[in-house]
């Protein structure tokens, strides 16, 4: 997927939000979008998702199945979590897997009304609907905001899994949790341009940790630790 010399502004006469911005996203890539507030990160995500059209330039090679989780899930809707996910599964022609709601720690929320959810819980619903149907392009706007530690770790694993099967993941991330995903690249939006920046080198010395746990849980923990960027042998 290629964004080439993209120019975008919301109204004629206003300053450009993106000005000659380009981004190359190959299958299986995970891109972290950073930048100060108000520089156009969410606008870039919406352009990549196909929700906005560039004024000039173009975006080509967008995968047919797109999952989009907005920064603020619209919880002001008259559905329970289960009913909403059932509807969205039907709309996407791919039901939200029960395993996914379990991994995100939201099984106990299924009977609750969307309007009663906390911000973090509502955010999980937004993530679950975006992940239905094995998206080839997953757009996540601040996906870790408000999530508990377990859900943050699990989301990193899920992102790594989407990339492992060839999907493209693009996410804005102020928390920095996405850096735990192997192979993530970081792109900064500033002054209308997109620049790939190097991930910070951690000069913390390495140490080896031995963990004892039931054998049945070893594989899951190993996968989670790998997704967080740790070496597991």
Contacts to another protein by CB under 8 A: 46, 49-52, 66-68, 70, 72-74, 76-79, 87-88, 90-93, 126, 129-130, 139
Phi and psi torsions of 163, nearest 5°: -65, -35
Q: Least separation, in Å, of the C-beta of 187 and another protein?
A: 21
* Residue 219 neighbours by CB distance under 10 Å: 9
Our CB check for another protein shows the closer of 61 and 74 to be: 74
Alpha-carbon span 59 to 48, nearest angstrom: 7
Q: Least separation, in Å, of the C-beta of 36 and another protein?
A: 23
Alpha-carbon span 166 to 164, nearest angstrom: 5
Alpha-carbon span 151 to 77, nearest angstrom: 23
Q: Least separation, in Å, of the C-beta of 44 and another protein?
A: 14
Q: Least separation, in Å, of the C-beta of 39 and another protein?
A: 20
Alpha-carbon span 83 to 4, nearest angstrom: 40
Q: Are 138 and 159 in contact (CB under 8 A)?
A: yes
Alpha-carbon span 7 to 17, nearest angstrom: 8
Our CB check for another protein shows the closer of 67 and 146 to be: 67
Our CB check for another protein shows the closer of 35 and 133 to be: 133
Q: Least separation, in Å, of the C-beta of 74 and another protein?
A: 4
Our CB check for another protein shows the closer of 63 and 182 to be: 63
Our CB check for another protein shows the closer of 138 and 227 to be: 138
């Amino acid at each position: 997927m290629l964004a080439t010399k993209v120019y975008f502004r919301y109204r004629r006469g206003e300053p450009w939000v993106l000005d000659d911005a380009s981004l190359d996203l190959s299958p299986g890539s995970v891109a972290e979008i950073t930048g100060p507030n108000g520089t156009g990160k969410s606008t870039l995500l919406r352009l990549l998702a196909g929700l906005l059209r560039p004024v000039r330039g173009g975006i080509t090679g967008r995968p047919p199945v797109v999952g989009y989780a907005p920064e603020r899930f619209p919880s002001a809707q008259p559905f329970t979590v289960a009913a909403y996910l059932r509807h969205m599964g039907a709309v996407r022609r791919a039901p939200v897997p029960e395993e996914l709601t379990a991994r995100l720690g939201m099984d106990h929320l299924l009977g609750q009304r969307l309007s009663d959810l906390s911000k973090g819980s509502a955010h999980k619903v937004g993530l679950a609907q975006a992940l239905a149907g094995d998206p080839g392009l997953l757009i996540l706007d601040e996906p870790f905001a408000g999530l508990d530690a377990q859900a943050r770790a699990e989301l990193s694993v899920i992102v790594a899994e989407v990339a492992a099967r060839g999907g493209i993941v693009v996410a804005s991330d102020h928390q920095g949790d996405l850096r735990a995903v192997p192979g993530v690249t970081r792109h900064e939006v500033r002054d209308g341009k997109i620049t790939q920046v190097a991930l910070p080198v951690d000069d913390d010395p390495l140490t080896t940790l031995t963990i004892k746990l039931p054998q049945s849980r070893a594989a899951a923990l190993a996968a989670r630790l790998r997704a967080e960027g740790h070496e597991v042998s």
